[in-house]
Amino acid sequence: MAGQEQQRPTRRDDEPADDAAPAAPPAGGAAQTTDADVDAILDEIDDVLESNAEEFVKGFVQKGGQ
Amino acid sequence: MTARRVMGIETEYGVSAPGDPAANAMLMSSQVVNAYAAPLGSRAGRARWDYEDEAPLRDARGWEISRDSAHSSQLTDAPDDPGLANVILTNGARLYVDHAHPEYSSPEVLTPRDIVRWDKAGERVMLEACRRIAANPGLGDVNLYKNNTDNKGASYGTHENYLMRRSTPFADVVRHLTPFFVSRQVITGAGRVGLGQDGTGTGFQISQRADFFEVEVGLETTLKRPIINTRDEPHASADKFRRLHVIIGDANLCEVATLLKVGTTNLVLAMIEDAAFTRDLSLERPVGTLHDVSHDPTLKQQVTLRDGNSMTALELQWLYFEQASAYVSDRFGDDADEATTEVLTRWESVLSRLGEDPMLCARELDWVAKLRLLEGFRNRENLNWDAARLQLIDLQYADVRPEKGLYHRLASRGQVEQLVTDAQISEAVHEPPHDTRAYFRGRCLARYGENVAAASWDSVIFDIPGRGALQRVPTLDPSRGTKEHVEALLQRCRTAADLVDALAAE
């Protein structure tokens, strides 16, 4: 499962950069999620999760589809 | 064509009766469709699906298999039970029971944003059905999940459909699309707790569907699933068009993931049609690589190309992005349409941040949003990946109910980016897109529903009192029957009889 090679973090250097490509925008990442966001949803999650996880998960049985 | 194209998306939802694993899935699925359709009464609720043009056994490679050699699940044009619920909605969508799941097939649209909008409308339809069943004291509760596996060996699909030029050689589609599909999961994956088809392997993987794919190319959709599906039912003029039926995608809840899934695929298809690829990126072992990439959320897994090069799936996506970006700039310069520019901009942005730290995409990609939630919970509770509560989080991420679905909990806290407004989605539940034949289908249902006996992707059939035979109006060109083409005609025709007469006179 673990990768064997180091990962190049951004655009491959050996490929020509395309001048017409739009600059990477903040796009959806604009407002990054924070640890406080995770904590807020985790505080809520116990009330949202179905009780008796094991039985609930075991009971979710589907027939195959396409 | 670029990121714009006639296309649609269909999702089979997981269906379950809480506390009753043995409940009949076909019956529950029928209840779902009927719960939604019945109150529509004499309008959409009554019009049936017209199977005349269905040809699920035709193969894009040029032959047709005999019905005798087909697996019964491939015979989608002859449902086991003709009474199985199957209706057309006023937004142009089809809502029906496919195998043992309720399925929403979106109307045909032209832009990635409209795929998002009418796909979200489908989630609303399923939620409404779920609520109506819950409100009916005669029926047990039915839960619906927008996911693709029960983690016990069963998978059910989310299929994309793209209209392509018939003249494009199918071998080119296979060559350029296969490496793209193997690598695009780093963007489109919905995340899954469990490895292997039955989910007994311990760990988190990027894709819901990847482990269920066993061959490179084929006609099947329910067994030995192929990366490239060759089903060739154009639902349009067969001499001009092919419908590319893509079965490898995950069911996405994140709107940006859906936008990028169809938008980037459209760009790759446009380049295939224009023979614009400058490099063959064929992989050494596509199926095994598909699984390996899914199993490594650190995105370090190497992918080996047939030409001997190796790189990560993310780097392979960069190669597609760079060729697509050069293609658009070469063909359109600064005149590229807004939809195409948005897809390219977001594609580049997501690839950059995935390379930096995948968690930077938690607002846009399902597998990252889900993983972030799981890691937070795991750390707090000190759990291993085989803990039932982690599998429950995976499952409940996809629950269609806003109070129970964890995606919806994230959305209500503003922790995922949304592209379409609540009002736009509500409208799309009832209104068809304006710029495809879905407009004609949907408006006919809304305006003359009493007299619509049946409909399909490429026909509307009228039953007009006093006329012996049913009147079938073919809609073989998906880009005709738009608002621009037929709004005045429909306004002029007060009744279905007026419409049929007007069309006959043309």
Question: Which stretches of chain A drop beneath a pLDDT of 50?
Answer: 1-30
In B223-312, which ranges are continuous DSSP H helix? 255-273, 286-294
pLDDT of residue A36: 82
Pick from B18, B222, B322: which is nearest to A66 by CB?
B222
Q: Could you report the per-residue pLDDT of B281-331, keeping only the tens digit for each?
A: 999 999 999 999 999 999 999 999 999 999 999 999 999 999 999 999 999
CB-based contacts of A66: which residues, under 8 Å, 6+ apart?
B12, B73, B98, B99, B156, B157, B159, B221, B222, B247
pLDDT band at B41 (very low <50, low <70, confident <90, very high): low
B198-B246-B106 Cα angle (round to 5)? 100
Q: Could you report the per-residue pLDDT of B382-431, keeping only the tens digit for each?
A: 999 999 999 999 999 999 999 999 999 999 999 999 999 999 999 999 99
CA dihedral B43, B108, B51, B460 (to 10 degrees): 50
Tell me the pTM. Answer: 0.90
Chain B residues with CB inside 8 Å of A33's CB? 362-363, 372, 415
Token look-up 């006023």 returns B90
Ramachandran angles phi, psi of B94, nearest 5°: -115, 135
Average pLDDT over residues B459-480: 91
pLDDT band at B364 (very low <50, low <70, confident <90, very high): very high
pLDDT of residue B467: 86
Contact yes or no for B179/B282 (Cβ under 8 A)? yes
The C-alpha atoms of residue B5 and residue B262 are separated, in whole angstroms, by: 10
pLDDT of residue A1: 40
pLDDT of residue B469: 85
pLDDT of residue B83: 52
pLDDT of residue A15: 44
Contact B326 A20 (CB under 8 A): yes
Average pLDDT over residues B107-116: 98
pLDDT of residue A39: 86
- Paired with B474 in beta bridges are B459
Portion 13-42 of A in contact with B at CB < 8 A: 15-16, 18-22, 24-29, 31-33, 37-42
- Paired with B48 in beta bridges are B87, B454
Token look-up 């739009």 returns A22
pLDDT of residue A8: 40
Q: Give the CA distances from residue B149 to residues B343, B358, B443, in Å, rounded to whole numbers and listed in that order.
A: 28, 24, 35
Contact A12 B318 (CB under 8 A): yes
CA atoms within 13 A on the CB side of B232: 21
The C-alpha atoms of residue B451 and residue B458 are separated, in whole angstroms, by: 17
Of the candidates B50, B68, B98, B296, the residue annotated as catalytic is B98
Average pLDDT over residues B112-134: 98
Burial class (CB in 10 A: 0-12, 13-18, 19+), B131: middle
pLDDT at B445 over 70: yes
pLDDT at B346 over 90: yes
How many Cβ pairs closer than 8 A exist between chain A and B? 212
Contact yes or no for B206/B267 (Cβ under 8 A)? no
Contact A50 B396 (CB under 8 A): yes
Q: What is the largest CA-CA distance in chain A?
A: 56
Contact B415 A7 (CB under 8 A): no
B41: left (phi over 0), alpha (psi -120 to 50) or beta: left
pLDDT band at B80 (very low <50, low <70, confident <90, very high): very low
Contact yes or no for B37/B166 (Cβ under 8 A)? no
Pick from B315, B403, B415: which is nearest to A41 by CB?
B415
Please say if B250 is a catalytic residue. Answer: no
Q: Would you call B264 an interface residue with chain A, using a CB distance cutoff of 8 Å?
A: no
Q: Give the CA distances from residue B446 to residues B70, B124, B458, B489, in Å, rounded to whole numbers and listed in that order.
A: 38, 19, 17, 15
In B162-284, which ranges are continuous DSSP H helix? 170-188, 255-273
ipTM of the complex: 0.90
The C-alpha atoms of residue B30 and residue B396 are separated, in whole angstroms, by: 23
Portion 384-423 of B in contact with A at CB < 8 A: 388-389, 391-393, 395-396, 403-404, 406, 409-410, 413-415, 417
- The residue ranges of DSSP E strands in B89-219, in sequence order, are 94-98, 101-105, 143-145, 158-165, 192-195, 201-205, 213-218
Burial class (CB in 10 A: 0-12, 13-18, 19+), B249: buried
pLDDT at B15 over 80: yes
Amino acid at B354: L
pLDDT of residue B47: 63
The C-alpha atoms of residue B17 and residue B20 are separated, in whole angstroms, by: 5
CA distance B100 to chain A (A): 6
Chain B residues with CB inside 8 Å of A64's CB? 99, 153-156, 222-223
Which two structure tokens, joined as six digits, stand for B498?
């007026």
Chain mean pLDDT for chain B:
92
Contact B356 A44 (CB under 8 A): no
Ramachandran angles phi, psi of B296, nearest 5°: -125, 85
Contact A33 B301 (CB under 8 A): no
The C-alpha atoms of residue B366 and residue B455 are separated, in whole angstroms, by: 35
CA atoms within 13 A on the CB side of B354: 32
CA atoms within 13 A on the CB side of B57: 14
The C-alpha atoms of residue B42 and residue B490 are separated, in whole angstroms, by: 19
pLDDT of residue A30: 46
